[in-house]
Amino acid sequence: MSGLVRPCGARPAACGCGDLTPWQPGVNDVERFVVWGGQRLSGTVSISGSKNAVLPMMAAAVMSPELCALKGVPALRDVSVMRQILERLGVEVGWHPDGTLEMQARELGTCEVREELSRQMRSSIFLMGPLLARAGKVKVAYPGGCAIGPRPIDLHLRGLEALGARLRERHGYIYGEATRLRGQEIHLDFPSVGATENIMMAAVLARGVTVIRNAAKEPEIVDLQNFLNGMGARVTGAGTDVIRIEGVRELGGCVHQVIPDRIEAGTMMVAAAVTGGDVVVSGVIPEHLEAVTAKLKEAGVSVTPAGPGQLRVQGPERPRATDFKTLPYPGFPTDMQPQVMALMCLAEGTSVITETVFENRFKHADELRRMGAQIKVEGRTAVVKGSPVLFGALVEATDLRSGAALVLAGLAAEGVTTVEDCCHIDRGYERLEAKLGGLGARIERSGPAGSVSALP
Ligand code: UD1
């Protein structure tokens, strides 16, 4: 990436957000959230559609020449980057402000996902399976490491090779070719979410039957199955560890409503908990939130049904310490670990947090310490000694969920917290400051104006 083109004004190479605004020192400097702590949140907040469900579906749309429409698409930076990728491939994309995204891949002009776009978003590798299936070739930049660890893609590559794709890596790109992919039995060493989705998508247009064993069971995979079946695919078993895909010759169009974002919902639940607030989180699927709900209840937070698709969350005066370990679904989600760590920083007692999904996902601990948190990290374990109070400080969002955790800590802290590089947060939260503001939080975005207004 050129020195003068950097995402959203963040430090070069620090951001994966996808806004290629020419950077001028002192003009479009980093965006930040400024949070004045101490407000108890109350009211109702609506949850947006799931980012992690939308991204693979957008990639899957290249497999059909007909119109595919997604409803409930959140206006996020990652969605915006995926839209740019699709448009460069020749897909016609239309965005309606009600959250409907229309995509039609009548013909593909190219099968190359250019480096400047694929480096901004790891999810660009979702194009591998669909492009191999539709066009028999793909060229995509190898995704680099990221703030939460090295994140290899060996399971994606091995799965696609098992289906008959010929892959090679040269000069940082992966080149793939296939005539028609063939159905196969595939056993994943680890239930990787992305590998399960990539293989599922490739197998949809393959000849014969593919069975994925030890598949990931996340709700976003069930939603992808429903979307693909809406296009005419024959996929069963998503949500269990065995997924069966019977290949079809072609796919048609469909209209699909995206599931609500369980991580945004969990983050809002912690926002209520950490401020001792009383918030109704609306438009959720409570079963998707069971692991988070169970942990919050252990910590003394009240979570009760408040109507269809609604949970009422009431925070205690002070949470209780509780241990937890991240695991693939239905275990506790790694994407909620930083936010619940922020809550544990204020708990009575000491909690032990074990991260088993990603190697290096405790960077937020350094930032939380600046706010007075007492956290010791050793390998994949963090020991958090709860303090009665946190203090506002200048902190940096190193990745999406860490950024959210720092905002949550700021809501509960004494004084003012400035969370720098909030472009990371915009990758996965739609108007976070507006949603929290609607619950009574005092939070403002400052820095270069207008960079999120045109999304996606
Ligand atoms: C997805 C989510 C991400 C979430 C993660 C785990 C999307 C767009 N992102 O990421 O928000 O944090 O699931 O719930 O849906 N691994 C390998 N080889 C591979 C693939 C993965 O070793 O080929 C490892 C990873 O390094 C990681 C673990 O498996 O340690 C889990 O990764 P995976 O489930 O693939 O996560 P993602 O699909 O990248």
pLDDT digits over 49-102, tens only?
999 999 999 999 999 999 999 999 999 989 999 999 999 999 999 999 999 999
Mean pLDDT of 117-123: 85
173 to 128, 129, 142, 265: CA distances (angstroms): 12, 15, 5, 36
Alpha-carbon Rg for the chain, nearest whole angstrom, is 21
Tens of pLDDT along 357-393? Answer: 998 899 999 999 999 999 999 999 999 999 999 999 9
369 to 36, 387, 420: CA distances (angstroms): 18, 11, 16
pLDDT above 50 for 131: yes
Whole-model pTM: value is: 0.93
The full set of domain ranges for the chain reads: 28-48+260-446, 51-257
pLDDT above 50 for 399: yes
Helical segments of 115-261, H only: 115-118, 128-135, 154-162, 193-204, 219-230
Per-residue pLDDT band at 118 (split at 50, 70, 90): confident
Residue nearest to atom 12 of ligand 1 (CA): 335
Tens of pLDDT along 12-47? Answer: 334 443 333 433 444 445 789 999 999 999 999 999
Closest to 407 measured CA to CA, from 383, 376, 439: 439
* Token digits of residue 57: 């579906």
273 to 277, 286, 400: CA distances (angstroms): 6, 17, 20
Query: 75 and 98 in contact (C-beta within 8 Å)?
Result: no
Say how many Å lie between the CA of residue 151 and the centre of ligand 1. Answer: 7
The reply to whether 28-48+260-446 and 51-257 are identical in fold is yes
Q: What is the DSSP letter of 60?
A: H
Distance CA 244, CA 449 (A): 48
Closest to 33 measured CA to CA, from 438, 397, 413: 397
Q: Residues with Cβ within 6 A of ligand 1?
A: 52, 55, 123, 151-156, 190, 192-195, 216, 220, 334-335, 357-358
* Chain mean pLDDT for the chain: 91
Residue of 121, 158, 192, 224 to test ligand 1 pocket, by largest number of atoms within 8 Å of CB: 192
| % of the chain residues with pLDDT over 70 | 90
Per-residue pLDDT band at 145 (split at 50, 70, 90): low
User: Does the structural domain 28-48+260-446 have CATH classification 3.40.50.150?
Assistant: no
27 CB-side CA count, 13 A: 7
Tens of pLDDT along 298-347? Answer: 999 999 999 999 999 999 999 999 999 999 999 999 999 999 999 999 99
Q: Sign of the C-alpha dihedral, residues 331, 337, 340, 344? A: positive
Per-residue pLDDT band at 121 (split at 50, 70, 90): confident
Mean pLDDT of 166-189: 94
Per-residue pLDDT band at 279 (split at 50, 70, 90): very high
What's the chain's length in residues? 456
Q: Which amino acid is present at 368?
A: L
Distance CA 450, CA 444 (A): 13
Residue nearest to atom 4 of ligand 1 (CA): 335
CATH superfamily of 51-257: Enolpyruvate transferase domain (3.65.10.10)
Tens of pLDDT along 203-229? Answer: 999 999 999 999 999 999 999 999 999
Residue nearest to atom 34 of ligand 1 (CA): 192
Distance CA 8, CA 111 (A): 27
Could you list the active site residues?
146
Tens of pLDDT along 401-456? Answer: 999 999 999 999 999 999 999 889 999 999 999 999 999 999 999 876 544 444 56
pLDDT above 70 for 149: no
Distance CA 285, CA 293 (A): 12
